[in-house]
């Protein structure tokens, strides 16, 4: 009620403010001069918490005027202060990246030259040979660097990869056709060999592919007299 009598309706409203050092010293000096209690001085100066006077008195006695001014108002911040790392200089970052890329290109070039040294020096290196070399090195080096070193277009590389895959599949099929033809002593034509391969491989086989490969291998069914 003392706040209401001295300050009216404003003394009953909630108040949250920070007190300056001059204000604190003035309140403490008034308390010493008038020999008043902390509650009465708090009412005169509209300090809602009388314990503030006690805390200010202890700080003044222990550390002097500097102790009163050094304390921060409000709740303490419990979160640790985050320190942002200093941003890297873009010039340093770009130069380091350029050095790493150049180093990678040099390693790819050395590896490619080692592979080409194992080929026949008397024959020119074709697109198929370059594709095989690049396919063996692309696990450890960038494809773009290898294509630039070999002087091979990306579309040509993928076309040659498909051609090499088809050739390998045909070679595998030829190795499967020959045993079936020999087993039946040449009496099987391409249709019956296709059916035998479908049963043994448990997957469909194109009869036209079998016919073309048998013609390439010079295999023909014997005609009964």
Q: What is the pLDDT of residue 143?
A: 92
Q: Indicate yes or no: pTM above 0.85.
A: no
Number of domains in the chain: 3
* Dihedral-angle region of residue 8 (phi above 0 means left; psi in -120 to 50 means alpha; beta otherwise): left
Mean pLDDT of the chain: 80
Tokens (6 digits) for 177 = 């056709």
Q: What is the pLDDT of residue 93?
A: 72
Is there a domain that residue 86 lies in? no
pLDDT tens figures, 145-193: 999 999 999 999 999 999 999 999 889 999 999 999 999 888 889 999 9
Same domain, 141 and 199: no
Q: Count Cβ atoms below 10 Å from residue 200 Cβ, excluding itself.
A: 12
Residue 4 has pLDDT above 50, yes or no: no
Read off the DSSP letter of residue 9.
Answer: G
Same domain, 50 and 7: yes
pLDDT tens figures, 21-32: 788 777 878 777
Q: Count Cβ atoms below 10 Å from residue 81 Cβ, excluding itself.
A: 5
- The pLDDT-based confidence of 213 (bands split at 50, 70, 90) is very high
Same domain, 148 and 175: no
Average pLDDT over residues 32-43: 77
Same domain, 140 and 167: no
- Yes or no: say if 214 and 194 are a contact pair by the CB < 8 Å rule: no
Is there a domain that residue 29 lies in? yes
CA distance linking residue 205 with residue 80, whole number of Å: 70
For 157, the 3-state DSSP assignment is: helix
Residue 9 has pLDDT above 80, yes or no: no
pLDDT tens figures, 187-208: 889 999 999 999 988 888 899 9
- Residue 169 is part of which domain span? 161-217
Is there a domain that residue 75 lies in? no
Is there a domain that residue 90 lies in? no
Same domain, 7 and 65: yes
pLDDT > 90: percent of the chain: 33
pLDDT tens figures, 79-130: 666 766 666 666 667 788 889 899 999 999 999 999 888 887 778 888 989 9
Same domain, 7 and 46: yes
Same domain, 12 and 38: yes
Is there a domain that residue 79 lies in? no
Is there a domain that residue 89 lies in? no
């Amino acid at each position: 009620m003392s706040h209401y009598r001295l300050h009216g309706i404003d003394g009953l409203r909630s108040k949250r403010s920070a007190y300056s050092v001059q204000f604190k010293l003035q309140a403490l000096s008034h308390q010493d001069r008038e020999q008043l209690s902390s509650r009465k001085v708090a009412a005169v100066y509209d300090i809602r918490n009388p314990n503030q006077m006690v805390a200010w008195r202890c700080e003044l006695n222990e550390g002097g005027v500097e102790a009163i001014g050094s304390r921060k108002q409000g709740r303490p911040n419990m979160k640790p202060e985050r320190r942002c790392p200093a941003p890297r200089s873009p010039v340093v970052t770009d130069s380091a990246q350029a050095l790493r890329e150049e180093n990678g290109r040099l390693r790819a070039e050395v590896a490619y030259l080692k592979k080409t040294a194992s080929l026949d020096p008397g024959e020119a290196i074709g697109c198929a040979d370059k594709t095989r070399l690049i396919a063996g090195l692309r696990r450890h080096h960038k494809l773009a660097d290898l294509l630039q070193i070999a002087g091979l277009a990306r579309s040509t590389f993928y076309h040659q990869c498909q051609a090499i895959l088809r050739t390998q599949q045909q070679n595998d099929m030829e190795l499967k056709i020959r045993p079936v033809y020999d087993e039946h002593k040449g009496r099987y034509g391409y249709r019956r060999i296709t059916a035998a391969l479908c049963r043994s491989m448990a997957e469909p086989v194109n009869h036209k592919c079998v016919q073309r490969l048998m013609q390439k291998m010079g295999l023909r069914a014997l005609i009964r007299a």
